[in-house]
């Protein structure tokens, strides 16, 4: 083949045409000898073929063992082909190149050399064209509110470089233009749109205007800058020319061959020249300023930006949160304070109750002692009797012993009497001690009859000439009250003693006392009634009225507390203490203590054996 360069050139041309007619997307390189070069067709497919055919020819000549082809693609097509490995090299505009560099690792190996006076680094700019003689549009700032034609909003040499200059003046094309008219490729459409009056201005690549005489006369460039050594009118800063770049999969040896081949091109011979890769930093700066392309991430909202954008919502939310926290803290505080107050009140109440209980116990104790005190005169007499008997028997034993008449029988008889009398005295004292003991109130299940028997025994034990006390218990055997036994005995003792006092000095038949125990009827149903009846003096009008008043007494040595305490005790047991002074027309009166019967339980009532013995 090298022997027939003409044939080779013909073959290359056929291949080129096939490539030109082929669909935009090339097939993956299936042949190591195939060299595919993707080019951005910014002026349309035909223009691209015409523009880059020197490159194709040069490479076909320099790489005889390879099949070189050009693939013309738009922005997206070129990117996709590069990503899919369908092309080995790409030629594109500087902006697109920088994007592919960041995304796909495209690496420039050459930059198009525009030839003197332009340098490869300062080769590309954009021009805003307006109809010649349009006096209303002089500077870029005048574009506000105008209709502007562009090829696309992605084009580097067209739109993006202009956008940078506008942004520097605070103009946002998307926001501030009346219309951004996208006319698509080829770029000549921009001239046509402005010429037809469909747009007030158009954005094109610099030097395009100068390429046709009719355009030069029909249009002028807006905001033209003076850029030294740049032969065309430009509205923007200048950027490096188009690069030729390898991709990650491009074989380095092939890249080297292509570089050498293209560096050898000369403008004079080939109509096109390449230089070593230029510096594309200016393109990076443009993208960074506009926050597009590889720097689009800068547009992503940062915390600061979000805070600035939503500060009203954030402030409202913070206010709500603060209000809620304040409210919660206040409620907590109030709850704490109220709880503390409640606790203090409860503690104070408990302390008060404790004091009341202690006082009550003290009062109960004093009341019991007072009853005992009133009975103590006779108590001494009562104890004197067994003691005198004991002393008599003891003396008698001594005498008999002295006389030598002490027999075993006499000793046994005297000792038996002494022991009996001593037991009697001990029994009296034991009851009194138990009654006088200071203790807290209790509740015990007990038969009312047992309480009466115990109280009568105590009463009789304390009196020298105790009157006759008859007890008549008609309650069922399982009738139980739940009471403090000592307190109830205290009541009964008081009633017995009052009855005894009322009949003092009267004939013996008037001194007898009766205790009747039965179940209440009518109002008192469900209650055990204990009625203490005397036949004494009865009550006069004052006594009847003031009977239960504290400190009311008609006795010289009385305290007047007995009945009032008795009523309190009865009520504390949910019972009653009443008086009935007209019992069957007989003299005297009857005091009735009624106590609620406890629900019958399976266990037998508490009943001590000595009660039965005393009865």
Residue 122: phi, psi to the nearest 5? -130, 70
Instruction: Among 553, 583, 598, 615, indicate the residue that binds ligand ADP (CB under 6 A).
Output: 553
Q: How far apart are CA 278 and CA 148, in angstroms?
A: 32
Distance CA(448)–CA(453), nearest Å, equals 9
Residues contacting 93, CB < 8 A, separation 6+: 40, 42, 124, 155, 156, 157, 242
Which CB, 202 or 499, lies closer to ligand ADP?
499
How crowded is residue 152: how many other Cβ atoms within 10 Å of its Cβ? 15
Q: Which residue of 85, 520, 558, 587 would you call a contact of ligand ADP, by CB under 6 A?
A: 558
Q: CB 372 → ligand ADP: shortest distance, Å?
A: 13
- Indicate which single residue of 589, 592, 593, 597 sits in contact with ligand ADP (rule: CB under 6 A): 589
* By the rule CB under 6 A, 563 interacts with ligand ADP: yes
Site membership for ligand ADP, residue 587 (CB under 6 A) = no
Residue 549 C-beta: closest distance to ligand ADP, Å: 8
| Nearest-approach distance from CB 436 to ligand ADP, in angstroms | 17
User: How many residues touch ligand ADP (CB under 6 A)?
Assistant: 22
Query: Does residue 506 belong to the site contacting ligand ADP (CB under 6 A)?
Result: no
Using CB under 6 A as the binding rule, whether residue 555 contacts ligand ADP is answered as yes
Give the nearer residue to ligand ADP in terms of CB position, either 86 or 374: 374
Residue 124 backbone dihedrals phi, psi, to 5 degrees: -120, 135
CB atoms within 10 A of CB 560: 15
Distance CA 255, CA 245 (A): 9
Choose the binding region for ligand ADP from 236-244, 425-433, 455-463, 556-564 (rule: CB under 6 A): 556-564
Cα–Cα distance measured from residue 368 to residue 439, given in angstroms and rounded to the nearest whole number: 12
Figure out which of the listed residues 246, 514, 537, 568 binds ligand ADP, where binding follows CB under 6 A. 537
256/544 with CB nearer ligand ADP = 544
Instruction: State the nearest-atom distance from the C-beta of 545 to ligand ADP, in Å.
Output: 11
Residue count of the chain, please give it: 615
SS3 47: helix
Q: Does 543 bind ligand ADP (CB under 6 A)?
A: yes
Query: Cβ contacts of residue 488 below 8 Å, gap of 6+?
Result: 451, 455, 481, 569, 573, 593, 595
Residue 554 touches ligand ADP, criterion: CB under 6 A = yes
Which residue has its beta carbon closest to ligand ADP?
A: 562
List the strands of the sheet with 576-580, edge to edge.
Answer: 469-473, 513-519, 527-533, 590-596, 576-580
Strand partners, 513: 469
491 binding ligand ADP? (CB under 6 A): no
User: Segment near ligand ADP (CB under 6 A), from 45-53, 66-74, 560-568, 595-603?
Assistant: 560-568
We find the least distance from the C-beta atom of residue 558 to ligand ADP, in angstroms, to be 3
Among 125, 562, 575, 605, binds ligand ADP (CB under 6 A): 562
CA–CA distance, 518 with 533 (Å, rounded to integer)? 14
Beta carbon nearer to ligand ADP, 115 or 538: 538
Cα separation, 75 vs 300, whole angstroms: 24
**Nearest approach, Cβ of 437 to ligand ADP (angstroms)?**
22
Does 539 bind ligand ADP (CB under 6 A)? Our answer is yes
Q: Which of 97, 55, 93 is nearest to 294 (CA)?
A: 97
Q: Could you tell me the two tokens for 594?
A: 């009624």
Q: Which residue has the tokens 């009133």?
A: 374
Contact between 38 and ligand ADP by CB under 6 A: the answer reads no
Which tokens sit at 472? 């008549």
How many alpha carbons lie under 13 Å from residue 42 in its C-beta half-sphere? 24
Q: Is 364 in the site for ligand ADP (CB under 6 A)?
A: no
Work out which of 498, 514, 524, 568 binds ligand ADP, going by CB under 6 A. Answer: 498
* 242 part of the interface to ligand ADP, by CB under 6 A: no
Residues near ligand ADP (CB under 6 A) are 494, 498-499, 502, 534, 536-539, 543, 547, 552-555, 558-563, 589
């Amino acid at each position: 083949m090298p022997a027939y360069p003409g044939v080779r050139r013909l073959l290359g041309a056929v291949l080129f045409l096939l490539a030109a007619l082929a669909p935009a997307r090339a097939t993956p390189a299936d042949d190591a000898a195939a060299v595919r070069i993707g080019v951005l067709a910014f002026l349309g497919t035909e223009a691209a073929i015409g523009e880059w055919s020197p490159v194709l020819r040069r490479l076909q000549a320099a790489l005889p063992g390879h099949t070189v082809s050009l693939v013309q693609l738009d922005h997206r097509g070129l990117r996709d082909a590069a990503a899919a490995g369908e092309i080995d090299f790409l030629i594109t505009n500087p902006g697109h190149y920088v994007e592919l560099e960041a995304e796909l690792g495209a690496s420039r190996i050459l930059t198009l050399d525009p030839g003197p006076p332009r340098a490869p680094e300062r080769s590309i700019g954009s021009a805003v064209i307006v109809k010649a003689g349009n006096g209303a549009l002089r500077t870029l700032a005048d574009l506000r509110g105008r209709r502007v034609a562009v090829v696309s909003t992605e084009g580097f040499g067209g739109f993006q470089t202009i956008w940078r200059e506008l942004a520097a003046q605070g103009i946002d094309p998307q926001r501030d233009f009346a219309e951004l008219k996208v006319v698509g490729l080829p770029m000549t459409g921009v001239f046509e749109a402005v010429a037809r009056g469909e747009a007030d201005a158009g954005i094109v690549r610099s030097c395009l205007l100068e390429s046709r005489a009719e355009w030069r006369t029909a249009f002028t460039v807006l905001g033209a800058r003076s850029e030294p050594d740049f032969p065309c009118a430009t509205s923007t800063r200048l950027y490096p020319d188009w690069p030729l770049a390898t991709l990650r999969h491009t074989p380095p040896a092939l890249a080297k061959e292509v570089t050498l081949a293209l560096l050898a091109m000369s403008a004079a011979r080939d109509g096109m020249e390449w230089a070593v890769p230029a510096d594309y930093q200016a393109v990076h700066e443009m993208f960074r300023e506009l926050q597009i392309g590889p720097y689009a991430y800068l547009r992503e909202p940062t915390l600061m930006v979000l805070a600035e954008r939503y500060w009203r919502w954030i402030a409202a939310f913070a206010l709500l949160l603060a209000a809620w926290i304040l409210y919660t803290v206040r409620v907590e505080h109030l709850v704490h304070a109220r709880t503390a107050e409640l606790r203090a009140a409860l503690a104070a109440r408990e302390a008060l109750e404790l004091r009341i209980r202690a006082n009550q116990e003290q009062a109960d104790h004093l009341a019991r002692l007072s009853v005992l005190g009133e009975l103590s005169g006779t108590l001494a007499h009562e104890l004197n009797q067994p003691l005198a008997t004991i002393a008599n028997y003891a003396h008698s034993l001594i005498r008999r012993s002295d006389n030598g008449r002490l027999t075993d029988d006499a000793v046994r008889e005297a000792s038996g009497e002494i022991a009996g009398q001593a037991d009697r005295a001990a029994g009296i004292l034991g009851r009194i001690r138990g009654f006088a003991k200071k203790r807290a109130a209790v509740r015990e299940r007990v038969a009312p009859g047992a309480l009466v028997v115990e109280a009568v025994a105590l009463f009789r034990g304390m009196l020298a000439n105790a009157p006759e006390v008859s007890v008549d218990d008609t309650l069922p055997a399982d009738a139980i009250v739940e009471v403090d036994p000592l307190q109830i005995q205290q009541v009964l003792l008081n009633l017995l003693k009052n009855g005894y006092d009322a009949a003092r000095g009267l004939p013996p038949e008037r001194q007898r006392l009766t205790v009747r125990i039965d179940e209440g009827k009518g109002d008192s149903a469900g209650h055990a009634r204990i009625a203490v009846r005397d036949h004494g003096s009865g009550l006069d009008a004052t006594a009847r009225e003031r009977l239960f008043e504290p400190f009311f007494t008609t006795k010289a040595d009385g305290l007047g507390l007995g009945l009032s305490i008795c009523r309190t005790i009865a009520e504390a047991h949910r019972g009653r203490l009443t008086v009935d002074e007209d019992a069957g027309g007989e003299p005297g009166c009857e005091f009735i203590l009624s106590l609620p019967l406890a629900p019958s339980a399976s266990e037998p009532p508490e009943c001590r054996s000595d009660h039965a013995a005393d009865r």
